[in-house]
């Protein structure tokens, strides 16, 4: 059993790792280079290049019930989609509740993480840190790197001829964007249409003279608000939907999803996506279609080159008098503190076993937490990773032999290396990945077994949203409040909306569930025995 664990970073992954270490009887020490917890979610006006934070107006893309810690629900009066301030407040509540702060050394930077000379037998690491200009060396039995994938901006200037040599305007990465006031009255070109590029384009359209949004891939846009006003991830991200996705042919499920997206608006008419596209991504944005419809945002293809004040595009068109170019082109994760012999073992998360462990290491005492792209909440993924990893460190769980880990990595690694702006296309299915790690940790619930012992709970787990509480029903870390949290998740979702009571003549929840199940069954039969059309389970797996 390993005892002393170094944790680098006190963001969401770091906090979860500290708590999981304590649950397993380990001794965590967390090194955080800033003065507070929260990581990316702690907004600051500072332009400090050593730290990445969200922009002022950001709102979460995943709902509170789908992105909370598995044994600590958000307060019921918090809205379903949260501004950064409430996310940080929730982190503080979590840290206080589980007494995590005393294990964090603030204003302490990890300078290097190196294998000890006897690493092959001990698995130990030498960690050098710096606090107020004073360096200190430590020895740890294991290390958990929790710096995430928003580390260093990816700014591919070489791919845009003229941007450095000819263009007279301003250019910057989205990391340096804080609010829209600096762009008032300007003509802005946003390069990249991920969630960040879409959000910033919409925000800038309120103050800029004109916003141009450049993209090279097909993009399907959907709203956080699903049918009947519920959070889209709670409606779509269910085990029943996942079961159907696995059961039906992939071509059919893709066609159903595309039809579902186009039922909101025809993406081809807006120049966003075609059902024939093989290279596409999904983004969440309720306002982008209206901005395109109203002309406050103009969609453009890839930029071919820049002149002094213009952008020339691949289709031969030109936009004049561009004042600012904003690159929303993603991030890279260099891990500069890791020694080169370790860092060279993985070039991205797909080179890691289960996106966590470098499989070639002689001893499994280094874990990378939160370096994942999921179709759901990364927070939930990070916590599940931390639970499994600390179980391994504590001796409860075991990793397979190196040969099996390498075979698994090679099997799942994409054949073509993608740049950071394309990693959106490589997102892993949320339920697939979480279930996989939960199975390794011995905490995945059995719907069949629950159906025999607790039918009500089993039906909620299978047909309802796949919330994190499901992974606290069995195994190590079992939480007595998990069942109640699952059965009351819809009440917590609706509670913040009950600020004005109106007469509601709709039927009760039982009738709603029966109607929903009937609709789902009918949709399944129609898609199986008739022409594929609209389906209630169609849509992205968030």
Of the two residues 508 and 314, the one the predictor is more confident about is: 314
- What superfamily in CATH does domain 155-223+264-330 come from? FAD/NAD(P)-binding domain (3.50.50.60)
Answer yes or no: same fold for 4-151+333-412 and 155-223+264-330: yes
pLDDT of residue 503: 80
10 Å Cβ neighbour count for 290? 14
pLDDT of residue 339: 95
pLDDT above 90 for 494: yes
Architecture of the domain whose range is 4-151+333-412: 3-Layer(bba) Sandwich (3.50)
Separation of alpha carbons 407 and 422, rounded Å: 25
pLDDT of residue 536: 33
Taking residues 416-420, what's their average pLDDT? 59
> Tokens for 286?
């309720």
pLDDT above 50 for 291: yes
Q: What is 243-312 written as a DSSP string?
A: HHHHHS-HHHHHHHHHHHHHHHS-TTTTTS--TT-SSEEEEE-SSHHHHHHHTSEEEE--EEEE-SS-EE
Phi-psi region for residue 206, left (φ > 0), alpha (ψ -120 to 50) or beta? alpha
Do strands 187-191 and 331-332 pair parallel, antiparallel, or not at all (unpaired)? unpaired
Do strands 170-173 and 324-327 pair parallel, antiparallel, or not at all (unpaired)? parallel
pLDDT > 70: percent of the chain:
90
At 419, is the pLDDT very low, low, confident or very high (cuts 50, 70, 90)? low
Question: What's the chain's average pLDDT?
Answer: 90
Of the two residues 254 and 1, the one the predictor is more confident about is: 254
Q: Could you read off the pLDDT of 24-74 as tens digits, one per residue?
A: 999 999 999 999 999 999 998 887 767 889 999 999 999 999 999 999 999
> Tokens for 194?
């991920």
pLDDT above 60 for 117: yes
Phi-psi region for residue 266, left (φ > 0), alpha (ψ -120 to 50) or beta? beta
Question: In the chain, where are the structural domains located?
Answer: 4-151+333-412, 155-223+264-330
Collapsing DSSP to helix, strand or coil, 135 comes out as strand
Instruction: Give the DSSP H/E element, type plus range, for residue 23.
Output: helix 12-23
At 538, is the pLDDT very low, low, confident or very high (cuts 50, 70, 90)? very low
pLDDT of residue 505: 58
At 277, is the pLDDT very low, low, confident or very high (cuts 50, 70, 90)? confident
At 540, is the pLDDT very low, low, confident or very high (cuts 50, 70, 90)? very low
Q: Point out the least confidently predicted range of 8-22, 34-48, 207-221, 459-473.
A: 34-48
At 515, is the pLDDT very low, low, confident or very high (cuts 50, 70, 90)? very low
φ, ψ of residue 13 to 5 degrees: the values are: -65, -40
Taking residues 383-412, what's their average pLDDT? 95
Taking residues 423-432, what's their average pLDDT? 76
pLDDT above 90 for 520: no
Is there a contact between 183 and 204 (Cβ–Cβ < 8 Å)?
A: yes
Q: Is pTM beyond 0.85 here?
A: yes
């Amino acid at each position: 059993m390993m005892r002393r664990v170094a944790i680098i970073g006190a963001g969401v992954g770091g906090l979860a790792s500290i708590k999981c270490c304590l649950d397993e009887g380990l001794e965590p020490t967390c090194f955080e280079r800033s003065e507070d917890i929260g990581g990316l979610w702690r907004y600051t006006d500072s332009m400090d290049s050593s730290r990445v934070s969200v922009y002022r107006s950001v709102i979460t893309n995943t709902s509170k019930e789908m992105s909370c810690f598995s044994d600590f629900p958000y307060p019921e009066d918090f809205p379903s989609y949260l501004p950064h301030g409430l996310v940080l407040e929730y982190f503080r509540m979590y840290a206080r509740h589980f007494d995590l702060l005393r294990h964090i050394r603030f204003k302490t930077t990890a300078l290097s993480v190196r294998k000890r000379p006897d690493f092959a037998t001990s698995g130990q690491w030498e960690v050098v840190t710096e606090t107020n200009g004073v360096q200190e060396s430590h020895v740890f039995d294991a290390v958990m790197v929790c710096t995430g994938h928003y580390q260093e901006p990816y700014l591919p200037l070489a791919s845009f001829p003229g941007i450095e040599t000819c263009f007279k305007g301003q250019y910057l990465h989205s990391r340096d964007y804080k609010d829209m006031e600096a762009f008032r009255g300007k003509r802005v070109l946003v390069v990249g249409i991920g969630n960040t590029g879409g959000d910033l384009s919409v925000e800038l359209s309120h103050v800029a003279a004109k916003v141009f949004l450049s993209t090279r891939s097909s993009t399907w846009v959907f709203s956080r608000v699903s049918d009947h006003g519920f959070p889209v991830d709670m409606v779509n991200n269910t085990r029943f939907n996942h079961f159907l996705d696995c059961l039906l042919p992939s071509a059919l499920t893709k066609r159903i999803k595309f039809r579902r997206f186009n039922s909101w608006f025809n993406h081809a008419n807006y120049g966003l996506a075609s059902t024939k596209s093989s290279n596409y991504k999904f983004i969440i944005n309720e306002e982008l279609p209206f901005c395109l419809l109203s002309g406050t945002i103009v969609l453009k293809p890839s930029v071919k080159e820049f002149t002094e004040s213009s952008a020339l595009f691949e289709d031969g068109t030109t936009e004049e008098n561009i004042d600012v170019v904003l690159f929303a082109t993603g991030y890279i994760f260099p891990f500069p503190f890791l020694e080169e012999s370790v860092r060279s073992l993985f070039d991205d998360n797909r080179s890691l076993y289960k996106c966590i462990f470098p499989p070639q290491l002689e001893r499994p005492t280094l874990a990378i937490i939160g370096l994942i792209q999921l179709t759901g909440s990364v927070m939930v993924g990070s916590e599940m990773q931390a639970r499994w990893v600390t179980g391994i460190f504590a001796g409860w769980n075991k990793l397979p032999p190196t040969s099996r880990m390498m075979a698994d990595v090679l099997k799942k690694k994409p054949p073509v290396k993608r740049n950071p702006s394309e990693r959106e296309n490589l997102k892993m299915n949320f339920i697939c990945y979480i279930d996989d790690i939960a199975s390794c940790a011995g905490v995945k619930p059995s719907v069949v077994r629950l159906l025999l012992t607790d039918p009500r709970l089993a039906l909620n787990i299978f047909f309802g949203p796949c919330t994190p509480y499901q992974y606290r029903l069995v195994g190590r870390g079992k939480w007595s409040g998990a069942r109640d949290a699952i059965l009351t998740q819809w009440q917590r979702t609706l509670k913040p909306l009950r600020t004005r009571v109106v007469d509601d003549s709709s039927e009760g929840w039982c009738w709603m569930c029966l109607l929903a199940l009937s609709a789902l069954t009918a949709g399944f039969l129609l898609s199986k025995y008739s022409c594929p059309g609209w389906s209630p389970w169609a849509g992205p797996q968030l």
